[in-house]
Chains A and B, each alone.
Chain A
């Protein structure tokens, strides 16, 4: 079993301030080859309603550059490169997906696919306000799951 999928709901300890997140993550089960990508679907939790009305708004892919190739690292420092596979016109959502994919890919040294799923009633300024909170929560989740 090389890969496993987990789905979590992350509440914020401080209760009402930060939104609850729904995360579906497909992770390498044990840490053998670094070629197994992490894929993450993140979105705000939808209040109780039957049919799922969340829609995929951005799909971003990032991959670490091989360090042994002697490239000069002056180019922006981070040795991760990424592209939006499915782009959105809302920069705040793309920034969120890009930032998350880049950080996860760099931190765990693996390719990473990040999907942001937005709700119809979602107001993207919530994204800007909770940008770091969302990143931190997802990273913590991956750290505990991957045990790194």
Chain B
């Protein structure tokens, strides 16, 4: 089992006042690789309270035909003749997020987990294992993280910059493997 880790601080929101009650929060990311799954920990100020399992399951096992769950007829060539349209597979819909611990009604978390899984499928796994990202790569992630990362604090508006936080967390995960 191979372990990676990365530690940084959440950037303060742009509008946070000087006496920001949100003192700088430490974000700690650690991953342990097994051959059947990857255990990922994302801690905010050392805390983590919810766990999700993300596995890439398209329709394949059920109907055992290799039809991806979703995709769109992406138009490849510049000219618009029809035959050349080739099926562009939408990988984001192949993931299944199971809440092992925590609030399963939280709408933000499945999005976060799917984005992390897609980051792994497209960037990290090819880099770590050295093989290209094939289409039907099956893998699973076990993510333990703090739900406070996505919870708006009192003074911030509801979805202050969740997207910014998500991009920041993804960047941290990527940097963890960069060293």
Could you tell me which A residues sit within 8 Å of B by CB distance?
A: 1-3, 5, 7, 22, 24, 26, 28, 33, 35-37, 39, 41, 43, 51-56, 59, 61, 83, 85-86, 111, 113, 115, 117
B residues within 8 A CB of A117? 1, 34
B residues within 8 A CB of A2? 26, 28, 43, 45-46
The answer to whether A61 touches B43, judged by C-beta atoms less than 8 angstroms apart, is no
B residues within 8 A CB of A61? 51, 101
**Shortest Cβ distance from residue A1 to the other chain B in the assembled complex, whole angstroms:** 7
**Main SS at interface, chain B:** strand
Could you tell me which B residues sit within 8 Å of A by CB distance?
A: 1-3, 5, 7, 26, 28, 30, 32-37, 39, 41, 43, 45-49, 51, 53, 100-101, 142, 144
Known A-B contacts A56-B142, A115-B32; the reply to A24 vs B3 at CB < 8 A is: yes
| B36 in complex: contacting residue of A22, A26, A33, A55, CB < 8 Å | A55
Known A-B contacts A3-B28, A36-B46, A59-B39; the reply to A52 vs B101 at CB < 8 A is: no
Whole-angstrom CA separation of A7 from B35 in the bound complex: 18
The answer to whether B39 touches A115, judged by C-beta atoms less than 8 angstroms apart, is yes
The answer to whether A52 touches B3, judged by C-beta atoms less than 8 angstroms apart, is no
Whole-angstrom CA separation of A53 from B35 in the bound complex: 6
